[in-house]
């Protein structure tokens, strides 16, 4: 979630003070990711240092209004026009947990998957219930809120499908055959050597090209 660019985009609509920015952000995201005031002002100060916003007038209540600069407007335009760059090789806590569990001697990885799947299904049902209670809300705020919740639901559904896939993969392997005992190798200090199974940026890029290329 890019608080920085989101705040800039809101300021592109007109000058705002800190609490107002937080309110406008919540209106557009359904308060799913609430921001604290300290985070708002820290971000504003960094944006000011970068020349993207400026302090404007102060009203009778002492609210300092911030306004976007031309450089800030250009930054917003670039952000909206550019696809989001996903971090390659970003750690997924659940994937790491199951990968380790599947290779630990004496650990029932299937039970770990079963427990996680139950929790993931409960989370998914909660999200669906929230969507049902607010379905039909009209207007820009209703649309923005539904986009956020739908994204969370799709992610939760994908997690359940992946857990089913992981359970199916484990079914064909006896538990003892998957165990990795501690290696006798004594690695040297410094950067770890790349494993032959490591996924490189080139492999990820190649996979993306293969998946998106049209059939001949």
48-58 b/e with 16+ CB inside 10 Å = b? eeeebbeeeee
Q: How confident is the model at residue 102 (pLDDT cuts 50, 70, 90)?
A: confident
How far does CA 186 lie from the centroid of its chain? 37
Average pLDDT value for residue range 165-176? 80
Instruction: Classify 16 as helix, strand or coil.
Output: strand
Find tokens 């000011």 and name the residue. 48
Would the pLDDT of 211 be above 60? no
Closest CA to 72 of 25, 11, 22, 14: 11
- pLDDT at residue number 192: 60
> Is residue 17 within 8 Å of residue 66, measured between CB atoms?
yes
- pLDDT at residue number 203: 52
Min mean pLDDT across 18-22, 43-47, 186-190 is at: 186-190
> Is residue 128 within 8 Å of residue 153, measured between CB atoms?
yes
**R_g of the chain, CA atoms, integer Å:** 24
Dmax over Cα atoms in the chain, in whole Å?
73
Cα dihedral 155→144→11→75 (10° resolution) = 40
In DSSP notation, 133-181 reads: HHTT--HHHHHHHHHHHHHHHHHHHHHHHHHHHHHHHHHTS-HHHH--P
What ranges make up the beta strands (E) of the chain?
A: 53-58, 64-68
DSSP-assigned beta bridge partners for residue 58:
64
Dihedral sign (CA 128, 133, 138, 140): negative
Closest CA to 51 of 66, 40, 34, 39: 66
Percentage of the chain surpassing pLDDT 70? 81
Report how far residue 22's alpha carbon sits from residue 31's, in angstroms, rounded to the nearest whole number: 10
Report how far residue 110's alpha carbon sits from residue 171's, in angstroms, rounded to the nearest whole number: 8
């Amino acid at each position: 979630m890019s608080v920085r660019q989101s705040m800039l985009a809101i300021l592109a609509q007109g000058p705002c003070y800190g609490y107002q920015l937080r309110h406008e952000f919540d209106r557009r995201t359904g308060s799913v990711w609430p921001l604290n005031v300290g985070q708002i002002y820290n971000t504003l100060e960094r944006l000011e240092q970068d020349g993207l916003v400026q302090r404007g007038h102060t009203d009778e209540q002492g609210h300092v209004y911030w306004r976007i600069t031309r450089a800030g407007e250009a930054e917003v335009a670039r952000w909206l026009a550019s696809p989001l760059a996903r971090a390659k090789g970003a750690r997924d806590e659940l994937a790491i947990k199951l990968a380790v569990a599947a290779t630990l001697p004496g650990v029932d990885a299937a039970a770990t998957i079963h427990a996680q799947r139950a929790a993931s299904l409960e989370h998914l049902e909660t999200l669906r219930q929230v969507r049902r209670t607010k379905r039909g809300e009209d207007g820009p705020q209703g649309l923005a809120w539904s986009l956020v919740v739908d994204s969370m639901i799709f992610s939760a559904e994908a997690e359940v499908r992946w857990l089913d896939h992981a359970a199916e993969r484990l079914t064909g392997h006896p538990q003892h055959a998957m165990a990795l005992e501690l290696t006798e190798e004594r690695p040297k200090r410094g950067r770890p050597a790349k494993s032959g199974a490591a996924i490189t940026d080139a492999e990820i890029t190649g996979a993306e090209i293969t998946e998106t290329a049209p059939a001949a």
